[in-house]
Chains A and B, each alone.
Chain A
Amino acid sequence: MSRKLVKQLKNIKNENGRLNPDRSWVAQTRVKLIEDIKCNITNTEVNEEMVKTSVFDTISEGLHVFVSGRVLSMARSSLTILLVGAVAVSGWIASVSASYDSLPGEALYGVKMAAESTELLVASVIGSDEDEVTTILKHASSRVDEYQRSESTEQATVAIKSLKEKIESTQDSMDKVNGKSPEKVVAVAKVVEKKTSEILDSLTEPKEKERTIELKDIAPEVTKVQLKKDVVEVEALIQNAGIKAVGVLVENVNKEDVKESVITKKEVTDTINRRLDKLTEGVLKLDVTVVETSEKASSTIAIIKTTTTTKNIIGIEGAVGETASSTEMNSKQSTTSSTQDIVIKAVETEKKVVDAEQKVVVAEQKIGEANKIAETTKADVKILIEQDNFTAALQKIIELDTIKTETKVVVDEASIAVNIVEKVVVQDAKDLVVQEAIDASKINNIETVKVSSTEAVKIVE
């Protein structure tokens, strides 16, 4: 626009007096406006008693007035990141390192959780989707470690529950990233596949310490059984997450628009083979568990037989007691009733043993089938991979996984049943021997004491 025109436009407000307000009107309006406002303020004060503002509110209002909204929001974001970063760093230095080995319920465990939350927050704000998932799975690994090092069922339960949450949020993250570019989707899927496999390995291989802990754990049997069920559930969840990740990789390798730099057929082949190996290995481990359970069941039956022998001894000793004096008769009556209780208890236990035995038989059948399917799946998957039919290969793996999960449930049930029965049987046998010793001392029957001592030695052995 020409300078002349701009000048003319500027002069409109200067030279055209009518375009400007009348001075007297300006002054009158000013007075009226201020009066109205003051009246308004007074009414507000009367009605609302003036809301008292804190120092922070005043500072906040001041910031809003002097600093533009965009700058303020940017500054706020930067400050938040800075503070979160500072907390994360300082926290790590001060106490996180100390709380690293803490277990659920311990004083420093809260610090550990807070540090993890901060770490996750920083990863989600600053990092990529891949970083976020990696952080979540890192925390999941920590939960597995805590589970393995737990000193009570309670601690183990807390760790497993937290692990479950972590795996669920991993799946959520995978779903969230689903609509994004193939590069991001594949990157996240790779992380999930790798990490879930590692976590599953750690979870299914308990450390030796756990066995010693079991002995001094005072938690009720129901809680322990529930924990085992939770562990099985989490294992299935982890396995599902891993298979889902493999599914994502297969889906993307089949897409024509996804470059080889993102995912190659070799990578998918390796992943599927690795999964298959893990599954067959899992089936083998179950087979070993079944054999161990079966052996345990056999030894339990041996104990039952021993207690039956003792019962017979009690019977003989009962016959001898008939010729004793009247005083001895009184003591004899009481001892006979207590030994009878034990005998009834032993009969009940025998029934439980039979049930457990049946479960073991079912488990043996199931594992036999699972072994066969595993072999067939191995052969099928090999052929399908050679044909580049990854989807069908994955389907086979999913089927084998389902079989394995079903078998694991049956095997675990048998194992739990045998363990419970074994404890009961051992306890019954101990009670019987102790009772026998007491009875023997009462009737001064040296022969019976000798027999009882022999039986006691046998049981202890």
Chain B
Amino acid sequence: MLTCLNAIECNILTIFPSIYMKTHIEEKLLVYKVISKRDTEAFAKLYDFYIQPIYRFVFFKLSNREDAEDISSEVFLKTWDYLIEKPRDITSFRQLVYRIARNRIIDVYRERARKNECLIDVATETLVGNDLRIDIEVKEEQQDLIKSIKKLKHEYQEVIHLRYIEGLSTKDIAGILDISATNVRIIIYRATKKLKEFVEPKSPKKK
């Protein structure tokens, strides 16, 4: 029952984010409160809005629940520090929080590579093979889609996730990846083309 309620809550949050963050201005106002008054309540609201997308982003890349949880909580603590220390460097809270998450993920990749614990390719298998397949009931179609995404190179996975799963704008993605918007559009185009190649041969039409 509780799991069911959790799922509903999550869905409401993701489908109707305006429930928590009615407008973009409201987000700016909260950031302003954090910067000027060090308002923890305002930051808590920002956390409420962004914890799920960030968790998804981290989990999608690390494919490990514990790691995703640790990294996600770290990301918000770092975000707070950044807001307080360098308030003038912030152009967009959304871009900032994703950028911090992305940098932290890169650190984890490096650590893993150094320890030879889990290579990136293996992590792909872990995401689909362990947590997603065993713990949760996932539709076969979506499982295949995730598998296909995971076959893409990391740059393509990132843009597909940010653009289609999280629904971010090209401008935001450009800010997160620190590249131009035109470049993002090109990467999205190539990524979707590649994804189609992986997905469509299995589609009924092709068959």
**Is A2 located at the chain interface by the 8 A CB criterion?**
yes
Task: List CB contacts (< 8 Å) of A1-21 with chain B.
Answer: 1-2, 5-6, 8-21
Are A5 and B196 CB-contacts (below 8 A) given A16-B136, A20-B10? yes
Output the least CB separation between A56 and chain B (Å).
Answer: 13
- Give Cα A22 to B60, complex, Å: 15
Chain A residue numbers with a CB within 8 Å of B80 are 33, 37, 40
Q: What does the 1/0 interface line of B71-85 toward A look like (CB < 8 Å)?
A: 011001100110000
Asked if residues B31 and A23 are in contact (CB atoms below 8 Å), the reply is no
**Is A219 located at the chain interface by the 8 A CB criterion?**
no
- Give Cα A40 to B87, complex, Å: 17
Point out the residue from A12, A14, A32 that lies within 8 Å of B146, measured CB to CB: A12
Point out the residue from B9, B131, B145 that lies within 8 Å of A12, measured CB to CB: B145
Asked if residues A66 and B28 are in contact (CB atoms below 8 Å), the reply is yes
Output the least CB separation between B199 and chain A (Å).
Answer: 6
Asked if residues B69 and A33 are in contact (CB atoms below 8 Å), the reply is no
What's the tally of chain B residues with a CB closer than 8 Å to chain A? 59
Q: Interface residues of B: mostly helix, strand, loop or mixed?
A: helix
Q: B69 — nearest CB in chain A belongs to which residue?
A: A25
Output the least CB separation between B90 and chain A (Å).
Answer: 7
Are A19 and B59 CB-contacts (below 8 A) given A10-B165, A13-B166, A33-B73? yes
Chain A residue numbers with a CB within 8 Å of B142 are 8, 11-12, 15-16
Are A10 and B167 CB-contacts (below 8 A) given A2-B196, A65-B28? yes
Output the least CB separation between A430 and chain B (Å).
Answer: 76
Q: What does the 1/0 interface line of B24-36 toward A look like (CB < 8 Å)?
A: 0100100110011
Chain A residue numbers with a CB within 8 Å of B35 are 61, 65
- Give Cα A40 to B3, complex, Å: 34
**Is B119 located at the chain interface by the 8 A CB criterion?**
no
Asked if residues B132 and A64 are in contact (CB atoms below 8 Å), the reply is no
Output the least CB separation between A272 and chain B (Å).
Answer: 52
Asked if residues A38 and B32 are in contact (CB atoms below 8 Å), the reply is no
**Is A220 located at the chain interface by the 8 A CB criterion?**
no
Are A23 and B9 CB-contacts (below 8 A) given A61-B32, A65-B32? yes
Task: List CB contacts (< 8 Å) of A37-85 with chain B.
Answer: 37-38, 40-41, 53, 58, 60-62, 64-66, 68-69
Chain A residue numbers with a CB within 8 Å of B72 are 21, 29
Chain A residue numbers with a CB within 8 Å of B164 are 1, 6, 9-10
Task: List CB contacts (< 8 Å) of A216-244 with chain B.
Answer: none
Range for the number of chain A residues in contact with chain B: 35 or more
Output the least CB separation between A54 and chain B (Å).
Answer: 12
- Give Cα A36 to B44, complex, Å: 12
**Is A382 located at the chain interface by the 8 A CB criterion?**
no
Point out the residue from B7, B73, B87 that lies within 8 Å of A64, measured CB to CB: B87
Chain B residue numbers with a CB within 8 Å of A6 are 164
Are A1 and B32 CB-contacts (below 8 A) given A18-B131, A18-B138, A33-B76? no
**Is A93 located at the chain interface by the 8 A CB criterion?**
no
The chain B residues found within 8 Å of chain A, CB to CB, are 3, 5-7, 9-11, 14-15, 25, 28, 31-32, 35-36, 38, 40, 43-44, 47-48, 51-52, 55-56, 59-60, 68-69, 72-73, 76-77, 80-81, 87-88, 90-92, 131-132, 135-136, 138-139, 141-142, 145-146, 160, 164-167, 192, 195-196, 199
Asked if residues A41 and B38 are in contact (CB atoms below 8 Å), the reply is yes
- Give Cα A58 to B88, complex, Å: 11
Point out the residue from B40, B55, B87, B145 that lies within 8 Å of A20, measured CB to CB: B55
Asked if residues B44 and A34 are in contact (CB atoms below 8 Å), the reply is yes
Chain B residue numbers with a CB within 8 Å of A64 are 87-88, 90
Asked if residues B77 and A20 are in contact (CB atoms below 8 Å), the reply is no
**Is A26 located at the chain interface by the 8 A CB criterion?**
yes
- Give Cα A2 to B195, complex, Å: 11
Q: A41 — nearest CB in chain B belongs to which residue?
A: B38
Are A9 and B160 CB-contacts (below 8 A) given A16-B132, A17-B10, A30-B47? yes
With A12-B165, A20-B55 known, 20 other A-B pairs at CB within 8 A are: A2-B196, A5-B195, A6-B164, A12-B145, A12-B146, A14-B11, A14-B14, A16-B136, A17-B10, A19-B59, A23-B9, A26-B55, A30-B44, A30-B48, A32-B73, A33-B80, A37-B43, A61-B35, A65-B90, A66-B28
Asked if residues B40 and A26 are in contact (CB atoms below 8 Å), the reply is no
Are A15 and B139 CB-contacts (below 8 A) given A5-B195, A65-B28? yes
Are A17 and B6 CB-contacts (below 8 A) given A5-B196, A61-B35? yes
- Give Cα A41 to B88, complex, Å: 19
Are A62 and B56 CB-contacts (below 8 A) given A2-B196, A18-B135, A68-B91? no
Which 3 pairs of residues, A with B, have the shortest CB-CB distance?
Answer: A18-B136, A9-B164, A21-B55
